């Protein structure tokens, strides 16, 4: 079977992801930011499919684009967007923030250009990932090697549910 992971799809999807990221941090209206973030999440799900991770791609779409973003949109509706749209969108330290982030990006570029390990990585053979049984294999890891982490994650979700309910209550 010829792989669908062609360079064209990679550049298309990563371009969409980065475009969505730029829109998230520049839009005035928080609803537009949320929609741009959904674009980024869907493009990333496509990239996961190209990397032979169909289960993670499905979880990304159902849980992120379907669950978390609906939560975000509801909260945007609850807090007033008309008022916050008329206000200044960037804080007073925005120059320092941009300079710091660009410095971080320059550090990334330098590491990517100079690191010998990363260039060896580009030539390394890829692992033989299961194409048909990805979900079963992940389940074996989740209930085998990562049993303790799985249980801790369920506890974390319980704490988060209680925390969100307590925070959103009218009278604590």
Partner 1 sequence: MVPITTLHYLIVAAGLFVLGVVGVLTRRNVVIVLMSIELILNAVNLNLVAFSRMWGLHGQVFAIFVITDAAAEAAVGLGILIAFFRNKETVNVDEVDLLKW
Q: Which is nearer to partner 1, 1 or 92 (CB)?
A: 92
Residue 102 CB, shortest distance to partner 1, in Å, is 8
Q: Which is nearer to partner 1, 1 or 124 (CB)?
A: 124
For 84, residues 6+ apart whose C-beta sits below 8 A from its C-beta are 30
Encode 3-23: b = buried (16+ Cβ within 10 Å), e = exposed.
Answer: eeeeeeeeeebeebbeebeeb
Pick from 1, 4, 121, 148 the residue near partner 1 by CB under 8 A.
121
Query: Token pair for residue 122?
Result: 């580009």
Interaction pattern, residues 64-103, with partner 1; x per rule: CB under 8 A: x--xx--xx--xx-xxx---x--xxxxxxxx-xxx-xxx-
Residue 101 CB, shortest distance to partner 1, in Å, is 4
Our finding on whether 12 is near partner 1 (CB under 8 A) is no
Our finding on whether 52 is near partner 1 (CB under 8 A) is yes
Query: Token pair for residue 107?
Result: 């550090």
Our finding on whether 148 is near partner 1 (CB under 8 A) is no
Distance of CA 39 to the CA centre of its chain: 11
Our finding on whether 4 is near partner 1 (CB under 8 A) is no
Distance of CA 21 to the CA centre of its chain: 10
């Amino acid at each position: 079977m010829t792989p669908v992971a062609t360079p064209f799809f990679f550049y298309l999807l990563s371009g969409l992801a980065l475009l969505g990221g730029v829109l998230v941090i520049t839009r005035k209206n928080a609803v537009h930011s949320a929609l741009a973030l959904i674009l980024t999440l869907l493009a990333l799900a496509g990239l996961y499919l190209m990397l032979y991770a169909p289960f993670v791609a499905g979880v990304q779409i159902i849980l992120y684009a379907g669950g978390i973003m609906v939560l975000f949109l509801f909260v945007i509706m609850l807090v007033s967007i008309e008022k916050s749209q008329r206000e200044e969108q960037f804080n007073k330290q925005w120059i320092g923030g941009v300079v710091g982030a660009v410095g971080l990006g320059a550090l990334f570029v330098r590491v990517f250009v100079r690191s010998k390990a990363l260039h060896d990585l580009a030539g390394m053979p890829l692992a033989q990932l299961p194409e048909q049984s990805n979900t079963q294999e992940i389940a074996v890891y989740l209930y085998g090697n990562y049993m303790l982490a799985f249980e801790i994650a369920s506890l974390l979700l319980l704490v988060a549910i209680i925390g969100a309910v307590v925070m959103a209550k009218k009278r604590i």
